Amino acid sequence: MAQLVTRLEDQLLADVDILVRDGVAATRSDAVRLGLQTLVERHHRQQIGRAIVDAYRRHPQREDELSGLDDSTRALVEDEPW
How long, in residues, is the chain?
82
Distance of alpha carbon 59 from alpha carbon 33, whole angstroms: 39
Can you give the pLDDT at residue 6?
94
Can you give the pLDDT at residue 64?
82
pLDDT digits (tens, 9 = 90+) for 3-19: 999 999 999 999 999 99
pLDDT digits (tens, 9 = 90+) for 34-71: 999 999 999 999 999 999 999 989 998 888 887 777 88
Distance of alpha carbon 74 from alpha carbon 68, whole angstroms: 10
Phi, psi for 53 (deg, rounded to 5):
-60, -45
Q: Are 20 and 31 in contact (CB under 8 A)?
A: yes
* pTM, to two decimals: 0.69
Q: 61, 4, 51: which is closest to 31 by C-alpha?
A: 4
